[in-house]
Amino acid sequence: MRDGRATVPSPTIPGWRLILSDRSRFWAFRQEPFPLAARRAGAEPDLDADTFDEIQVLVEHQEEIARQVAGQVTP
């Protein structure tokens, strides 16, 4: 028996755990820690935003920081 409510798939971001709070705020937590160099460069493993689109942008920014740090070659 169905109750008439539609089932909407939960949004996902690979490598991140998402939570929608009781105040309809999105939280994202990176499943694997960032390397120390990425953390020192400003990559944050836990984020929050008002919308899924905003959290996606924030996550991509953190991942970009980590990619940039990983691509740096030290002499």
Which has more confidence, 56 or 9?
56
Mean pLDDT, residues 38-62: 97
Average pLDDT, the chain: 88
Place of tokens 């935003």: 49
pLDDT 10s digits, 12-43: 999 999 999 999 999 999 999 999 999 999 99
**Spans of all domains in the chain:** 16-70
Find out whether 32 and 21 touch, Cβ atoms under 8 Å. no
